Amino acid sequence: MLKFSFFTTFFLLSFLLYSEARSEISSFFLNNGMEVVVIEDHRAPIVTHMVWYKTGAADENLGKSGVAHLLEHLLFKETKNVKTGEFSKKVESLGGSDNAFTSQDYTGYYQRVSSDYLELVMYYEADRMKNLVISEKDFKTELDVVIEERNQRTDSNPSALFNEQNMASLYLNHPYGIPIVGWRHELDNLTRKDVINFYNHYYAPNNAILIVAGDVEPEKVKLLAEKFYGKIGRNNNLTDRIRPSEPPQIVQRRLIFADERVAQSYLVRTYIAEERDTGKQRAAAAFTLLADLLGSGGIQSILGKELQLNSKKAIYTNAYYNGRSFDDTHFSLIVVPSDEVSLKEIEIELDRVIDDLLLNGIDEKHLNRIKFQYKAQQIYALDSAFSQARRFGAALTSGLKVEDVLAWPSELQEIDSVDILKAAKLLFKKEKSVTGWIRRPAKVEN
């Protein structure tokens, strides 16, 4: 068993004020290839138990969008040993909570219960890794539920609809361009067999990560994990995750989305950007800090200062980048113009701010404040074992290793303004971007 001791130290201002906080992270593999991570937090006798599959929507077969997420719903139905809903009911009877989530790269299931019940939830979670039964009736009903979910989250929301089109335009070939919940017309044609095939192939211990966080001892977790997960056979047919990749992107794309439900016009510019890779996180660290410089902290940020505070041409600005992704991810800039400012004008302003940044460089004091906040975040993050577990799960299912997660905070600290500027120059290439205008139809009075 590998044991990492994760020490975070920080210095404040120029004084030698010193403090240290630690969280014990242990990590090991079972014989069948299942990875296990234990995060200890003994402040309260509570445990979060999570199983993450290294499979998400981007691993679906062409034409079968929505399968990964529909399967996630169906895991709450029956197995050979357990009746429909029994697991959730059991967790509820313990006062616990449970849920699941699906992304492009992973599918995760969790329970949060008193630490006395770790063994119990492990029994059920291990059971549904292998023994799921999908009846035709459950399949049909749950497909209806998923369509309602799509109606609620996407089809009723113009921003979400635009986002779907935006990703489809940004990725010319990679499946990140297909929505996680599935295209509506493909959902309508999914079959029970599609879901079963997906389950049989991907739900196996050598494709899963167990994360246990809270008031637990790694030795005890190891014994239990061997008992429940260790006896499940591997799937030797699983291959490396190689998805269709992007061709060179050589044309700038523009989208204009008009919907009468839009109240406030806005602009989104999205660029393809490198993600965090194991042993190679520097570019992603630079993009992370670049996004903060551009968009975090309201009027302190570059976009906020230029467009909200100085020129008053925008009422809201932001920048977004998340490096936890298996394949190339994206970097987004969002600007909501003031009433009297057109989308065309705000786009010119946005380009001007980017050009100025590339030309004039970065305010070192601003960068230092952002880096110090990341140091403090290492302390604040220890207040929630659940969030720590999620962070590890998302990273490990995106091709990263525990060492990468532990190294990430210091990688961020090592990035300087020269690195960030270099990253920005690589990133801000219009031919690798989509510019979207979201507005009301022209004929409707604003």
| Encoded tokens for 233 | 């056979």
Minimal distance, residue 445 CB to other proteins, in Å: 13
The least distance separating other proteins from the CB of residue 89, rounded to whole angstroms, comes to 6
In angstroms, rounded to a whole number, what is the distance separating the alpha carbons of residues 19 and 9?
6
* Rounded distance between C-alpha atoms, residue 75 and residue 53, angstroms: 13
- Min dist. Cβ of residue 36 to other proteins (A): 19
Q: What's the rounded Cα separation, in Å, for the pair 439 and 335?
A: 13
Of 214 and 399, CB closest to other proteins: 214
β-strand partners of 329: 273
Which is nearer to other proteins, 234 or 375 (by Cβ)? Answer: 375
Can you say whether the dihedral through the CA atoms of 387, 388, 390, 395 is positive or negative?
A: positive
Measured from the CB of residue 41, what is the shortest distance to other proteins in angstroms?
A: 9
Q: How far apart are the first and last CA of the chain?
A: 63
Nearer Cβ to other proteins, position 93 or 360?
93
CB closer to other proteins, 89 vs 429: 89
Say how far apart CA 22 and CA 262 lie, in whole Å: 47
Residue whose CB is less far from other proteins, 82 or 272 = 82
Q: Which is nearer to other proteins, 173 or 410 (CB)?
A: 410
**405 φ, ψ (degrees, to nearest 5):** -65, -40
Distance in Å, CB of 346 to other proteins, minimum: 14
Q: How far is the CB of 440 from other proteins (least distance, A)?
A: 9
Residue in 72, 78, 274, 306 annotated catalytic:
72
Check: CB of residue 156 under 8 Å from CB of residue 87.
no
Instruction: Determine whether 72 is an active site residue.
Output: yes
Nearest approach, Cβ of residue 422 and other proteins (Å) = 25
Which residue, 139 or 199, has its beta carbon nearer to other proteins? Answer: 139
Name the residues annotated as catalytic: 72
